[in-house]
A = this chain, B = another copy of it.
């Protein structure tokens, strides 16, 4: 790929030498470069294509890192990375993995935070501005926040405090009008009105908060953005720069299908078609079949998502049952408390979450659902050990959910168990139930004598008992086979309930077992294995716990992590044998 202008850019200062035609050419080069890599590796497409011009303009007008920009979610920071010394990660396939998909201070002095969750940028930038002022330092501070992120409570808390600052702060609202398609809330009506009136409407929530406000209608035009930044640079007070951009700008498939191209797996650059479609059976189908069955049986269910319908294919449900489908936008707290209100009045809401974003509703899970024992069902996806950025780890949900009183956290191991647990949750009225959707492919096995809160014994042996939580039940079975070959007949148990121990089953093990082994695809700290360890603390039972370390992993491969955490059959068998040796 030819990138003659980009070749001259090694740091932001180099941009200042370029003419407007050269900057425009640079934007074209970067756009091609972004598409070239992301079509091969997958990643955020539309958000990055939309901000190429404003990123170039920022680094041309401002002086990073004296002037600082905080990217909300930071999934749109690819161009920023290219311009701040990291272009090799786009130019050379061997270096594609050198940088993360998010801002990362360890990569560059132009990045300040690891960010992957939404709505934090205004609060972070306000804090940075206060630090600048108190220390008598210089420079602009800018937050770039998309319209989708603006509905998160923290963004609104942030606006409220930012408005009171008496010094420089620029909040760029990158409005690509996407959220309006979904009509997620009243805020978006105002953004639309402001776009339609080119920022002149008397209805202006930013001005109501007390902000100086400026509107830019074509955020994908370089000259316009250069002028807009010049106008607000060195402002001595907070300014909202409301910039209208086009998500996916410059690539028709991403413009036509904005939602699919927000984040995309590898695709054919010419056609936009996915290269390797996943046609595997999925637990999503089990979930949808269960929802339809419940509705047929008159269970008054509703489905709620906080802006992540894709992972659960919830729009399918929304098309069939629009009056029962609610996408509250990026507003995780609302998703839970809104469900609490519904449940208290007799509905059976199901909230569809990923574990990492559900963290944003911890108090709502405890205060609104737990204390009130409201029968809300929460589906939790992404609970697993796997390669990923530190901001999207899937191992902390167990410690978060399993220690909230009155909340039952279930870990199904098969599609039959998943369906049965959903059904049980939707029929009971004792309290909230969360269900950890397994992540290791679809398993199937007949269910008999189903009691979701009792452990299920798959094989009764003696001496050693293997408790395999959810997706790790197959690992327990593998270990059992290896131990059997060594003439150790281990019991295999599916704990099912990971928030409250089935102490009847655990007590029975004391009779003829000396060692209990717990396997969980979650952080050991605060998790299931610790509960089992405490239970046996006053007895001679030995307990070995296997799971993730208490740390934020950062793109290690799944294989590396499982090996490090000793979550392989060979390692577990070795540890079991070593432990048994001490008991002889």
How many chain A residues touch the partner (CB < 8 A)? 117
Q: How far is the CA of A362 from the CA of B399 in the complex (A)?
A: 12
Chain B residues in 8 Å Cβ range of A526: 399, 402-403, 526, 530
Contact between chains at B135 and A300 (CB < 8 Å): yes
Chain B residues in 8 Å Cβ range of A406: 551-552
Binding-face segment, A86-94, A415-423, A537-545, A566-574: A537-545
**A453 CB-CB contact with B under 8 Å:** no
Q: How far is the CA of A371 from the CA of B159 in the complex (A)?
A: 24
Q: Please provide the chain A residues from 340 to 391 with a CB less than 8 Å away from any CB of chain B in the complex.
A: 340-347, 349, 359-360, 362-364, 366-368, 370-372, 390-391
* Contacting residue for A537 out of B339, B396, B543, CB 8 A: B543
**A563 CB-CB contact with B under 8 Å:** no
* Contacting residue for A209 out of B205, B209, B339, CB 8 A: B205
Chain B residues in 8 Å Cβ range of A342: 127-128, 130-131
Q: How far is the CA of A300 from the CA of B137 in the complex (A)?
A: 14
Contact between chains at A186 and B157 (CB < 8 Å): no
**A289 CB-CB contact with B under 8 Å:** no
**A220 CB-CB contact with B under 8 Å:** no
**A482 CB-CB contact with B under 8 Å:** no
Complex interface bits, A48-92 against B, C-beta within 8 A gives 1, otherwise 0: 000000000000000000000010000000000000000000000
Q: How far is the CA of A526 from the CA of B362 in the complex (A)?
A: 15
Contact between chains at B331 and A157 (CB < 8 Å): yes
Which residue of the partner chain B has the closest CB to A515?
B538
Residue in A135, A153, A339 with the greatest tally of chain B CB atoms within 10 Å? A153
Contact between chains at A156 and B156 (CB < 8 Å): yes
Chain B residues in 8 Å Cβ range of A130: 302, 326, 338, 341-342, 347
Q: How far is the CA of A451 from the CA of B236 in the complex (A)?
A: 45
Contact between chains at B366 and A550 (CB < 8 Å): no
Which residue of the partner chain B has the closest CB to A159?
B186
**A400 CB-CB contact with B under 8 Å:** yes
